[in-house]
Amino acid sequence: MPRRGTRKRVRAEYAARAHLQVAPMHLRFDRRHVVWLEAVWEELQALPFTSVPITELRRPQFIDTIEDLDRSEQIEWAEDLANRCGHLLVTTYRQTGKLGAMGRTTKVSLAGQAELALGRALGSLGHQVVESPDRDDGNLAITVDGITVPVAIAAASVVDPGRVARMVAATRPAKRAATNLVVGDLITGPAREALRDAGWSWLDRRGHFVLRAQGVHIDADVPADPREAGGAPPRPISGSAGISWATALLMAPKDPPSMREVARRVSLSHSAIVATAKRLKDAALVRADGTPLIPELFWALADDWHSTPTALSGLPTGQTGESDHGWAVAGTVGAAAWGAPVIIGSAYPPDFYLASEADLRRAVHRVGKAERFEERACTVAVPPTPLVCFETFERRADAWGNWRFAHGLFAALDLAQDRSRGAEILDDWNPQDFTRVW
């Protein structure tokens, strides 16, 4: 209906005379007023011949939303929308530093903040960003020691190998003459290798910048530059609570465990798990229904998956005895036992996780340290989360004796620390006994 002063009175009079039910809700546009009413078609056919200032009639229907699309189509839809209407907003952000009130950081906001972050990183190294004469392809220009480098920026929160592959595949022809550069809150190790292989540059806002172009090569640490409040935090996974909740989600991605159960297993407060769960949702690593985003959560966790192995001169004895309760094999041997495509012999040094620092000290005292790491019979370490040793498994007893194994997820996380060989193994590994999450 057109927006006129008498529209409400005329609409109400007609509805009352025709005995129609009118919903209390309505929408107002610039020149239109939309109302909902319940009627059959025969009751509405007379409307065009009345004084009701009607513009059009529409039958209500269910429509697909972006949430009804699969993930690849969601990304394509969002990128298409950003390409069609994002340039004006990016320009506004560059000029003002603001995009108005936003509950969640949008793709346009990411792009605007990425350009500003790139300028700060270059400034810390004595270089600068200048406006490109051709803004139609979204490029900027960087000057390095008098050399001008056109740059096409892609921005993301968490960058993993899968996202790199999508970015490379989606590169428009107009941008291929420029140096492609990714700005991310967190760029995983394997993602950096994938970017390097693709000839792309990157800025990890945690503090590292790589630029490779004709006549220019920069590979340097820069000041950490986390995004502004309202965007995803630069390190959504940290501490025992964050690592424990992330691993619990990845071990059961389709049926997430309860927060109280995970807190009990790792001897932490329920509130600590609740807080870290909120951070993961805010960082868009966990969906609203509590299920993890795959593989983004895995690669974000891999970047915070650290332990300190100690090389031992011999193997533990009495592995099934009470004194060795909680020992769990992961690493390369663990991955092989879970079916990863890696060829090793039974003499390959296993990597054990132990339940506590006290267990680690006892193991070193009983077996003794190896003089050189290369001469080790095995390694022992305390895992980043107690969940590693909470439940252990038997795998291929004929090849690995009586050793107990950590869940295959933890072997995969260990492999992810090797940016070249480990990433290649993961790429070809499709486990049969648990869900692939990388």
Contact 250, 314 (CB under 8 A): no
Closest CA to 334 of 427, 402, 410: 410
* Per-residue model confidence as pLDDT tens digits over 10-23: 777 777 877 888 87
* Per-residue model confidence as pLDDT tens digits over 389-427: 998 888 765 566 678 899 999 999 999 988 778 888 998
Check residue 6 and give its pLDDT. Answer: 60
Measure the CA dihedral 32/37/42/44, to 10°: -30
Check residue 376 and give its pLDDT. Answer: 93
Residue 387 in 3-state DSSP?
helix
Contact 228, 113 (CB under 8 A): yes
What are the structure tokens assigned to 22, written together?
Answer: 């009118």
Check residue 182 and give its pLDDT. Answer: 94
What are the distances in angstroms from CA 420 to CA 196, 425, 431?
Answer: 11, 9, 20
Residue carrying structure tokens 């990433």: 423
Q: How far apart are the C-alpha atoms of 226 and 391, rounded to whole Å?
A: 37
Is the domain 239-296 a CATH 1.10.3470 member?
Answer: no
Q: How far apart are the C-alpha atoms of 257 and 328, rounded to whole Å?
A: 22
* Per-residue model confidence as pLDDT tens digits over 61-107: 655 566 655 565 566 566 556 655 544 444 444 444 444 433 444 55
Check residue 63 and give its pLDDT. Answer: 53
Check residue 399 and give its pLDDT. Answer: 60
Measure the CA dihedral 176/179/180/185, to 10°: -170
| Adjacent-strand bridge partners of 311 | 379
Q: Which residues contact 326 (CB under 8 A, 6 or more apart)?
A: 354, 355, 356, 359, 389, 392
CATH number of 71-221: 3.40.1350
Predicted TM-score of the model (pTM):
0.54
Domain ranges (residues) in the chain: 7-49, 71-221, 239-296, 310-428
Check residue 84 and give its pLDDT. Answer: 52
Looking at residue 354, what DSSP letter applies? Answer: -
Residue 244 in 3-state DSSP?
helix
pLDDT, one tens digit for every residue, the chain (438 residues): 544 556 667 777 777 877 888 877 777 765 677 887 788 877 777 777 777 777 777 776 655 566 655 565 566 566 556 655 544 444 444 444 444 433 444 555 677 788 888 888 888 888 877 665 554 444 678 888 888 888 888 888 888 888 898 888 887 665 557 899 999 988 988 889 999 999 999 999 989 999 998 888 999 999 988 876 444 445 678 788 999 999 999 999 999 999 999 999 998 888 889 888 988 988 888 988 889 998 889 999 998 899 999 999 988 775 433 344 568 999 999 999 999 998 888 788 999 999 888 889 988 998 999 999 999 999 999 999 999 999 888 876 556 667 889 999 999 999 998 877 888 899 889 999 999 999
